[in-house]
Amino acid sequence: MSALDDVRARYRAGGLHGSLTPGRNPAIVVVDLQYGFTEAQYGPGFSLDDVVEATRSLLSVAREHEVPVWFTTIAFPTDGDGIGATWLTKMPALDGLRDGDRSVEIDERLEIRSNERLVVKQTASAFAYTDLAQQLRAAGVDTIFVAGATTSGCIRATIVDACAADIPAFVVRECVGDRERAPHDASLLDIDAKYGDVVSLDDALDFVRGLS
């Protein structure tokens, strides 16, 4: 048994690690796969090519089966820091992510479509100070599959808030990434134990295909 398996076993024995059941009206939420994160030339950026490619596969099948898609991007106003001043103090690398800059645009490899909604945020969570929860409910969404970056930051914050909003959330393992392996692995373990389910890309694709 690996060290992570041992932790999971102790969690289960302590009443953690329950399993969620996806509903029949899912959506895909792609968190912050904007150029500011997918290209290393930008302050917060790092190599996310594998994550982008896996997310392309997820989006392709979702679009084929008419599963709605939401994207998020971090963009601060050009004339100030908006509601994110404290976050910018902690992460000055984000300072260049300003309205109108290329860094806040969704990576073109994901081919965002005109009928897919974009939520602009200034906090880690896709739900904090946005109307994402209301949009999802208005569309009848009962489950979200989440992709994007970073696992220990915006992904984890989004899943915690999805749980608080009573929206079952599934993190697609191959579709999320982080700057370092340790926080990535620890965050997936913690999410899976307490707030959402971590699933493989194959399982997510099989579920979407099965909706037909």
83-107 pLDDT, tens digit each: 888 999 999 999 999 999 999 999 9
**How many CB atoms sit inside 10 A of residue 126's CB?**
29
Annotate 55-90 with b (16+ C-beta within 10 A) or e (fewer). bbbbbebbbeeebbbbbbbbbbeeeebbebeebbee
Secondary structure class of 184 (helix, strand, coil): helix
Of the residues 69, 132, 154, 159, only one is catalytic, namely 154
State residue 13's pLDDT score: 76
Q: Note if 163 is an active site residue.
A: no
Q: What is the CATH code of the structural domain delimited by 25-210?
A: 3.40.50.850
Residue ranges of domains in the chain: 25-210
Q: Which residues of the chain have pLDDT under 70?
A: 1
CA distance 167 to 154: 17
- Mean of pLDDT over the chain: 95
Closest CA to 174 of 73, 56, 60, 70: 56
CA distance 167 to 131: 14
CA distance 128 to 86: 14
What is the residue type of 22?
Answer: P
CA distance 94 to 73: 12
Residue reference for tokens 């106003």: 77
